[in-house]
Amino acid sequence: MPTVADIRAAEETITMLTAYDAPTAELVERAGIDAILVGDSMGNAVLGHDTTLPVTTEEVASRTAAVSRATDEALVVADMPFLSVGVSEAESIENAGRMVKEAGADAVKLESGPHTVSLTERLVELGIPVMAHLGLTPQRVNQLGGYGRQGTTEEAATEIAELAVAHEEAGAFSLVLEHVPANLAGAITDELSTPTIGIGAGSDCDGQVLVITDVIGLGDWSPPFSRQFGDVRGEITSAVEAYKEAVESGEFPAEEHSETVEEVEDVY
Ligand code: KIV
Ligand code: NA
């Protein structure tokens, strides 16, 4: 059972995927994935939003609880949604604490920046393990003006590298690096003693993470750095079409799906 200590000390490549519901989490765990991120990517992936910004603490807590109930091996990491942390320390601790106390998360992930260094330290001090997240931080989409690659200038790369070290020193047990140059991710991975988990960050990270709906082919769009390993859209479409056809033709429900009970014969 990977704990944050196991992840921190992992010798082998760490595998992480998002999941937002019990049946998916169960399958992800059964496949042997080390860590499940209940990402705020649920906003786009399953809640029908265009960005992650509208996702609430309530929604992540509810989905995290579902994932926790369905798993016992994988490390469950709850993603702290936009403005659930960073507004005030007390509120940040309360919201992060909810994920552990009420929803059963093993750790939380914070989209990180200069403002999360001391908060990370405080959460870790209180017993809430923190996964940091640098590079592209989609909650800042309005600031960034899009979802482009980050850390592409020396100045920007240096800032990310320094923040990576600052969050490790603050006690983060691992670091997600999203959509940064592979050589920057490689350099940060060499520098840190805690593991890096990349998404769109090349192959030199200590682990990889992707969004489950992209991996299984449930979404209708996925970023160029992702890969579709399955065709769940195709599976759902053919199952639904087959159901519709069977109902319309009268082939379903068949005799084996129905029951006749003598006692109710005379209601009219
Ligand atoms: O919300 C999410 O799925 C994430 C991963 C892409 C790291 O933050
Ligand atoms: Na996220």
Cross-strand partners of 110 = 132
In this model, does residue 1 exceed pLDDT 90?
A: no
Whether 219 is covered by a domain: the verdict is yes
Tokens 């129905």, residue? 258
CA distance 176 to 112: 10
Q: State which amino acid sits at residue 3.
A: T
Tell which atom from ligand 1 comes closest to the C-alpha of 40.
Answer: 1
Q: Which of 17, 36, 40, 41 to mutate to test the pocket of ligand 1 (most atoms within 8 A of CB)?
A: 41
CA distance 211 to 22: 16
Vertex 264 angle, CA 261 and 268, to 5° = 145
Whether 263 is covered by a domain: the verdict is no
Vertex 213 angle, CA 93 and 157, to 5° = 60
Count up the domains in the chain and report the number.
1
Whether 258 is covered by a domain: the verdict is no
Whether 267 is covered by a domain: the verdict is no
Q: How would you class 91 by CB atoms within 10 Å of its CB: exposed for 0-12, middle for 13-18, buried for 19 or more? A: middle
In this model, does residue 265 exceed pLDDT 90?
A: no
CA distance 43 to 184: 28
Region 109-121 average pLDDT: 98
- Find out whether the beta carbon of 81 lies less than 6 Å from any atom of ligand 1: no
Region 4-17 average pLDDT: 96
- Find out whether the beta carbon of 80 lies less than 6 Å from any atom of ligand 1: no
Per the annotation, the verdict on 73 as an active-site residue is no
Residue 181 belongs to domain spanning: 4-230
Region 71-87 average pLDDT: 98
pLDDT tier, 213 (very low <50, low <70, confident <90, very high otherwise): very high
Query: Which of these, 149, 7, 132, lies nearest to 80 by C-alpha position?
Result: 132
pTM of the complete model beyond 0.90: yes
| Nearest protein CA to atom 5 of ligand 1, as residue | 39
* Binding-site residue positions: 40-41, 79, 109, 111
Q: CA dist 230 to 208, 223, 235, Å?
A: 18, 15, 9
Mean pLDDT of the chain: 97
Q: Could you tell me how far CA 49 lies from the centroid of its own chain? A: 16
Q: CA dist 41 to 33, 54, 85, 187, 202, Å?
A: 18, 11, 17, 27, 20
Instruction: Say which CATH number the domain at 82 has.
Output: 3.20.20.60
For the packed helices 89-101 and 117-126, what is the interaxial angle rounded to 10 degrees?
40
Q: Could you tell me how far CA 158 lies from the centroid of its own chain? A: 26
- Find out whether the beta carbon of 139 lies less than 6 Å from any atom of ligand 1: no
Region 61-80 average pLDDT: 98
Whether 259 is covered by a domain: the verdict is no
pLDDT digits (tens, 9 = 90+) for 173-183: 999 999 999 99
More confident residue, 258 or 123: 123
Whether 260 is covered by a domain: the verdict is no
Which residue of the set 154, 178, 241, 256 is catalytic?
Answer: 178
ipTM above 0.95, yes or no: yes
In this model, does residue 52 exceed pLDDT 90?
A: yes
pLDDT tier, 266 (very low <50, low <70, confident <90, very high otherwise): confident
Ligand 2 ion: nearby residues, β-carbon < 5 Å: 39-40, 79
Q: Could you tell me how far CA 225 lies from the centroid of its own chain? A: 16
Whether 245 is covered by a domain: the verdict is no
Whether 102 is covered by a domain: the verdict is yes
Region 178-205 average pLDDT: 98
CA distance 110 to 120: 8
Confidence (pLDDT) at 149: 97
CA of 230 to the centre of ligand 2 (A): 22
Q: How many helices (H) and strands (E) does the chain have?
A: 11, 8
Confidence (pLDDT) at 47: 98
Q: How would you class 189 by CB atoms within 10 Å of its CB: exposed for 0-12, middle for 13-18, buried for 19 or more? A: buried
